Structure 1
């Protein structure tokens, strides 16, 4: 608001100043033009008496003296065809003046002043002088600079006054913005003052009510996260006991490993929810080694790839490759991408995973040898959007992970015609 008020006042002042300064600038130019023309005309007319009465010798001396003392070159065209004074050609204006008409005409280099006068021989002589563009503009540029400086000074003064006025008007808004930033940073005890004008007091009351409601919702989320942990503990324990009771040791170990992975995933989800709902101020800088995390998830899914007779090709750069994302989020991103391949392609369809560093990002690419993305799939990166009958959350998980790190996700076609997902993860400092 403060900036808008300042811009509005400044724009209004500029319009007013321009409306006044442009006519003044044109007036200054007109005055200088008229002054130069009048001076040249007076200089030419001062020779009329000499041209009318003096002989050629006296006239020549008078013209030379006029050219020596004056600012403008003077030429006298006599009726007998002779020419005295500064060199000049017989222009159309001179020929017109020989018929008894004095005039001033604009030329390419300035202006031409011609004065018609009868000479001593009884013919019609012409006194011609030329005013250059420099003489016409003498003093104009200085006047324009003064006007421009005055305009800038007025605009600066108006901006200063508008800023002082706007500061008082938006002080309460700035305090409300500060409270909202403190709330966004996790300081849920922050409250807005109510000692303000009625409109601002209503906004502050609403903001305080919102802060209280946020605290209540976060408390409910923490309670539900704890409740989720307790509810899943019993079925996970039962599933683990069933896995350990299998007669085949290898099968029992494999199923037990899956149960432990599920238990760790649930624990990560609960920890993440509690971390995001904590009331501590400030943000914790997250980062992890993308090389180690992706290698671990690829090793996990390689077992399933072997069971489903899929070729898993990997090109993973050596670490460390630090990215601005937590290990849990990057693992969930990799699981979502690899899981999509298993979920949406038939057994035996190959896949490839590559991880390589870029300029400012680390690029994770997952290809498959399947049919690619459905033609009707207009927005697979949107949450819940899918053209394959799934929940549509896999690519959204990858998109959110990439966005949180400062990168992004692109969809493309793999070299073999299948689907390609390119995840660009922002580098960590």
Structure 2
């Protein structure tokens, strides 16, 4: 493309020079020739005037007198009736410029000049025009090279950007070139890079969230199946099977919610639900794991609370907090429900060392973890809480107290606070 731009620019300049240069040469040649002819004509008229005036006054007319009235490089022939012809200067040979003037008494003056002077003047003019044309060609080439570089270099950059996008590197370059059309292409490529980056981030986040959120219900389901496999009591088998079916339903809900959030993170499915049922289900689900670890999980606080949210999402948030306490906490884990203003609050606390002071509020950031874990559990829990208008906060670091705030509706029933084991 660079060579084509240079060749096209040079071709345009050559055409312009050919058209205007030839015309200028013709015009200048004619102008120089006409000027030389007019000069010789003027010389002949002046000489005939001098001859006439001398004749009127009966003065002597000599070659010496006439030579003072004519240019040194010109030749003049004066013919006066009844007298011998007078010659001034050396008569030129070859091509000449000639002019003849006649007086009232029959006198005649002929002035001649060699056309070599005109040829030399035309040659100088042609040299000047040629030099200007050469300068124009050189300038055109330099300008064409500059313009070609100005256009081809951005195109090369844009091609490299497109190639990077195709190879999976979605970093926008935010580079502009001062050419509106090229800048428009750069804008489109940068916008595409940002969209691709968001899509890749969403896919990676979906994979991480899915692996984390599916792990808990799968672990719980595995424990229920183990309980079934080691017991011969039909009632126990039936109870554990029902709980396992509940885990399967929760697993299905988790998958559907992940897919929904992947399509549109703003899509919510908040409903009014019984908070007691969700808390009870989580305690029953996690009690075997805590029993195996030699620890207890209890509940206290207000009962009969109804909140606005997605039951499956609230269950996943509580599961993340309970699992966090199981892995990083110590002693008894307590789930306490209470009311503050128009919100229902579920607090999850344990008797462990709590959150390290250097983490603080960063505990909800992805990849932030106080132990050897993925660091996305609390981040996913916070996103789930905020998806339906709630919020998840760390109220106290030592011992750790996490609180899930949900919008509350009117109480269905009032029951005194009592621990549940």
- For normalisation by structure 2, the TM-score amounts to 0.40
- Report which of the two structures shows the higher radius of gyration computed on alpha carbons: 2
